C-alpha cells in the first residue's frame, strides 16, 4: 500500500481519483491511499469525492505522511517549487506536466538521482498513449533515429475541422474553444510551443542528450487558410501540425510545423483530438502509437500507471539525458523533400514559364485567381528557399508561401 499526496483537483486530478476509487481492492499489493489533495480554492471542491482530504495549505500537505507526490496542477509555478521540494525530501514524484519537464528536466532529474527517487512523467506527452515507457524501457537496445508525432490535440482538432468543414482558422478555433478543445488564450497550442515542449521531451529521451524546446524551429497553424486545404485536397493530403526530430551522427534536426500529410501516411487518419507518435529505431524499425492524447481519463490512465509502477517498487530507470549537453538543433532537413508552393501573381502565364525553368518536377494546381500552386519534389528545403527568394524578386510575384509535404 502506498500513500500519495495529490496536487491539483482539476480535470486530470478528478479522473485520477476516479481511477483510484474504481481500482480499490483489485490488488492489495498495489493499493493506493490518497492522503491529501492540495487545491487553490477549497470551496470549489467540497462536493467532490474525498472532499475530507482537501486542503489549500501547501504546508499541511508536506506535514503529512505519504510516499509519492502526484503533481497534476500544470504550468511552471507553483508546480516547480512543490516538485523540487518533494524530490529534495526523498519522495517519488509523478507528474503530467510537460512544461515542467521540458523547462526544468535537467535540474529535476538530477535532483531525483541525487535523492535516489523516481520522477515519472508518462502523461506529459501524448496523454494516454504509453510512449515514455516504451521509449525509455522497451526500446533500450535501439539507437533511435527519428521521432515524429501529432502531439497537440488542439491544433489537430482545428485542422480537422478546417479540412472537414472548409471553414477558416478563426471559425475552427472558436468551435474548438466552445467544445473545450482550445483554451481562451490558445497561443501555446496554436503557435506550436506546446508541441515543441513535447517533442523536446521525446527527442531528449530518444537521442540521449538534451534537446531544449526553445531551440526547436516552431511554426504555428495561425496562417493556414482554406486555400491551403483546397490545394491539399487536390494533392490527396490533409494538413497536420507535425513535430519531427531526427538524429544523424551527432546532429539533430527538429521542427514543429504544419505539413501536408499524404493519404498513405499513418498520420492521415489521426483526426481531431487523437495523437500519434512514430518512433524509428535501428533494431525495431518503425513503431506507430496512436490514441487519446488528452482528456480526463486517458491522462489519468497514464498517471495511474506511473503510480502503480512506484507502488510495486518498479522504480524508473535513472534519466540522465536531460542533464547532458544540449544538442545544436538544425531546422532544415538536408534531404530531398516534397513541398507545396503557393505564389500570388498578376501574371500566371509568365510565372508558369519561369517555374517550369526553375523546378524540373513541378506539378501545377491552378484553382484560384491570381495565384498558382505547385508541388515540387526532389529538392532540399534549402534549395527551395533559395529558389523562392529569387522568385520573390520578379515584378509579377506578390507573395510566396511554402508547406512541406510528408508521405
Number of Cβ within 10 Å of residue 368's Cβ equals 13
Q: For a second copy, give the closer residue by CB, 307 or 384.
A: 307
Task: Read off the C-alpha cell for 349.
Answer: 502565364
Distance between start and end Cα atoms, the chain = 49
Query: Is 324 among the residues that bind a second copy (CB under 8 A)?
Result: no
Specify the residue, 90 or 285, whose C-beta has the smaller distance to a second copy.
285
Q: Diameter of the chain by CA atoms? A: 77
Q: Choose which of 46, 178, 184, 317 interacts with a second copy (CB under 8 A).
A: 317
Rounded to the nearest whole angstrom, what is the least distance from the CB of residue 210 to a second copy in the complex?
A: 17
Instruction: Kindly tell me which of 89 and 288 has the beta carbon lying closer to a second copy.
Output: 288
Among 160, 243, 292, 321, the residue binding a second copy under the rule CB under 8 A is 292
Q: What residues does 340 pair with on adjacent strands?
A: 375, 403
| Binding of residue 288 to a second copy (CB under 8 A) | yes
Q: CA dist 207 to 147, 195, 277, 392, Å? A: 10, 18, 15, 38
Binding to a second copy by CB under 8 A, coded x per residue (else -) over 18-57, reads: -x--xx------x---------------------------
Using rule CB under 8 A, residue 272 touches a second copy: no
| Of 60-68, 71-79, 196-204, 279-287: span binding a second copy (CB under 8 A) | 279-287
108 closest CA partner among 201, 227, 217:
201
The kind and range of the H/E element at 161 are: helix 153-165
Of 338, 351, 361, 332, the C-alpha closest to 391 is 351
What does the alpha-carbon distance between residue 376 and residue 362 come to, in Å, rounded to a whole number?
5
Under the binding rule (CB under 8 A), the answer on residue 291 touching a second copy is yes
How is residue 34 written as a grid cell?
A: 490518497
Task: Provide the annotated binding site.
Answer: 7-14, 98, 183
Pick from 134, 149, 186, 258 the residue near a second copy by CB under 8 A: 134
Q: Among residues 91, 120, 161, 198, which one is catalytic?
A: 198
β-bridge pairing 68-71 and 54-55: unpaired
Cross-strand bridge partners of residue 71: 7, 95
For the question of residue 198 being annotated catalytic, the response is: yes
Number of H helices, E strands in the chain: 13, 17
Task: Decide: 182 and 159 in contact? Cβ < 8 Å.
Answer: no
Q: Is 194 in the site for a second copy (CB under 8 A)?
A: no
Q: 148 pairs with which residues across the strands?
A: 244, 278
Q: Is 191 in the site for a second copy (CB under 8 A)?
A: no
220 lies in the binding site for a second copy (CB under 8 A): no
Least distance (Å) from a second copy to the CB of residue 292?
Answer: 5
Query: Does position 149 bind a second copy by CB under 8 A?
Result: no
Catalytic residues: 198
Q: Which residues bind a second copy (CB under 8 A)?
A: 15, 19, 22-23, 30, 122, 128-130, 133-134, 137-142, 264, 266, 269, 276, 281-292, 295, 297-298, 300-302, 304-305, 308-309, 312, 314-315, 317
Amino acid at each position: 500500500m502506498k500513500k500519495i499526496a495529490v496536487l491539483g483537483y482539476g480535470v486530470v486530478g478528478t479522473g485520477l481519483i476516479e481511477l483510484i476509487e474504481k481500482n480499490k481492492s483489485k490488488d492489495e499489493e498495489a493499493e493506493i491511499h490518497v492522503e491529501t489533495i492540495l487545491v487553490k480554492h477549497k470551496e470549489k471542491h467540497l462536493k467532490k469525492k474525498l472532499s475530507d482530504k482537501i486542503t489549500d495549505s501547501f504546508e499541511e500537505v508536506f506535514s503529512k505522511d505519504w510516499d509519492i507526490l502526484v503533481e497534476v496542477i500544470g504550468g511552471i509555478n507553483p508546480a516547480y517549487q512543490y516538485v523540487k521540494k518533494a524530490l529534495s525530501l526523498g519522495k517519488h514524484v509523478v507528474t503530467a506536466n510537460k512544461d515542467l519537464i521540458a523547462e526544468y528536466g535537467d535540474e529535476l532529474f538530477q535532483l531525483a538521482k541525487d535523492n535516489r527517487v523516481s520522477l515519472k512523467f508518462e502523461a506529459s506527452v501524448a496523454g494516454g498513449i504509453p510512449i515514455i515507457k516504451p521509449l525509455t524501457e522497451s526500446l533500450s537496445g535501439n539507437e533511435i533515429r527519428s521521432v515524429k508525432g501529432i502531439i497537440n490535440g488542439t491544433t489537430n482538432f482545428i485542422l480537422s475541422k478546417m479540412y472537414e468543414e472548409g471553414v477558416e482558422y478563426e471559425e475552427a478555433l472558436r468551435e474548438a474553444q466552445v467544445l473545450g478543445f482550445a483554451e481562451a488564450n490558445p497561443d501555446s497550442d496554436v503557435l506550436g510551443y506546446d508541441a515543441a515542449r513535447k517533442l523536446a521531451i521525446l527527442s531528449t529521451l530518444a537521442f540521449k542528450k538534451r534537446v531544449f524546446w526553445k531551440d526547436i524551429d516552431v511554426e504555428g497553424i495561425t496562417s493556414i487558410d482554406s486555400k491551403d486545404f483546397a490545394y491539399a485536397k487536390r494533392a490527396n493530403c490533409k494538413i497536420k501540425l507535425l513535430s519531427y526530430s531526427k538524429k544523424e551522427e551527432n546532429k539533430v534536426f527538429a521542427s514543429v510545423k504544419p505539413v501536408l500529410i499524404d493519404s498513405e501516411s499513418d498520420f492521415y487518419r489521426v483526426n481531431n483530438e487523437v495523437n500519434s507518435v512514430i518512433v524509428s529505431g535501428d533494431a525495431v524499425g518503425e513503431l506507430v502509437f496512436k490514441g487519446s492524447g488528452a482528456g480526463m481519463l486517458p491522462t489519468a490512465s497514464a498517471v495511474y500507471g506511473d503510480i502503480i509502477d512506484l507502488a510495486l517498487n518498479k522504480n524508473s530507470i535513472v534519466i540522465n539525458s536531460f542533464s547532458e549537453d544540449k544538442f545544436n538543433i538544425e531546422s532544415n532537413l538536408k534531404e530531398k523533400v516534397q513541398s507545396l508552393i503557393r505564389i500570388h501573381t498578376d501574371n500566371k502565364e509568365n510565372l508558369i514559364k519561369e517555374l517550369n525553368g526553375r523546378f524540373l518536377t513541378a506539378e501545377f494546381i491552378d484553382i484560384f485567381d491570381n495565384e498558382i500552386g505547385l508541388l515540387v519534389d526532389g529538392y532540399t528545403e534549402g534549395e527551395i528557399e533559395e529558389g523562392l527568394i529569387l522568385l520573390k524578386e520578379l515584378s509579377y510575384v506578390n507573395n510566396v508561401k511554402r508547406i512541406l509535404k510528408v508521405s
